[in-house]
Structure 1
Amino acid sequence: MPSQVFVSIPDALRQFLSSECRAEGAKEVAQQSACELDELYRLADEHLKLTQEPVKMHELLATAEVVERREVPALGEDGEPLSELEQMRAASQERAYQRMVDGVAPLTGQRRTEPLPHQQGLRFATNFGTQVIVAFIGAFLLGYYFVETFVAPESFNAKVIAGASCSFATLLLETFLLVIHEQKQTIMEKKREKHAQKTARKVVAVQHPKNEEPKSGQEKKDD
């Protein structure tokens, strides 16, 4: 439950309220021995709006002391304080509402869907193609400007050859990474198939009758 904090009024704050503050009701507050803290800040804000002069409340309240704390009673829709029975009823309704909404997920989480396998493949191909193009162009520019800056600034052929070499090396690296990715996907798929086969065998073994009596020799011959 929220509470009201009442503080004492030091001499510096009393002088400000009685002579300098332009807010309405400041002089009446200056004659009191204690005042609510929120009321003091309200007067300071009103003084700032009227005079455009900020109030240094931390300096005025440097020697102030807390003299009392009061609990603020809960108010109804009409602005009147609630009775004890009404407060108990409101608390019961709040607990019932919290139990009702407990475990409810946001709509965004409920509507979230996982991409399909072909969508995942298309996304990977698009990302990989974009990465290859950017790396190819970046590698060419790296080799070109490296030769222009440090090796042979006047030789256009050397710069083009260096850029092409870097691009070719980058292309080989990207191809190597693609092969590794495909091998990893193949290995994971084989592991999933083996796991599915083991699971199917276990299910068949459980479904097989365990308490079946062995056939006699005559029955085996008849079979």
Structure 2
Amino acid sequence: MPSRIILPLMCGLAGAIIGACAALLFVKNWTPDWIEATGTWFGGVGTILTLLWAVRAFRADQAAREEARESERTKDQEKQSARDQAEMKQAESVLIELRGGAANGSPPNRVMVSFHLEIKNLSQHDVAVLAVTLDKRLKPKNPPPANIHISSGEIHRQLIEVADVPALDEDLGGREMSRFTAEMNYRLEGLDWQRGLTGSPQRLHETDVFVRTE
């Protein structure tokens, strides 16, 4: 029974019983038997009203508790959302870039012999770059770098030598190379992330597996 109708029901029931008892006493000329019977009815009605009031009080208490729990859940969700946004903002401040290096030969037989890997830590915390995955078209002579520690505000620059990679003008002279891809797996403030040259970082969890392509 909804709590909002219990109080009107109690008032209506009490009024009806009191009216009926008064009418009967008047009709029966206030005889002792009817006065006793009426008292019994009043006692029963009082018991019923007490139970109804207890139900109403219980429902009201339950509603107040649920409202408090919902308010607490909302606050927790807001705090978690703020934490998530702050963590994402810091993760977005760690960037990876590929920049052109040197080449041998002349077009159309020119080949790239090296390029520059840059990882910028613009976050407020130190970062550990656990692994770097390079585009399959890039063929490094040595494995891509791993387990690099970069302090807050620092930039890690590394020259990587490659072989048999056809070179375009845009791949040379330190310009940003956009036709290749690269991803890095990094740890920031105890959280693991993965991101590429473009797009937002993706949070990694314990069940995620990072596969590095040689």
Same fold (TM over 0.5): no
- The structure whose residues are more often helix, as a share, is 1
The structure whose Rg is larger is 1
- The structure whose residues are more often strand, as a share, is 2
More relative contact order in 1 or in 2 (CA 8 Å, sep 6+)?
A: 2
Q: TM-score, normalised by structure 2?
A: 0.31
Q: TM-score, normalised by structure 1?
A: 0.30
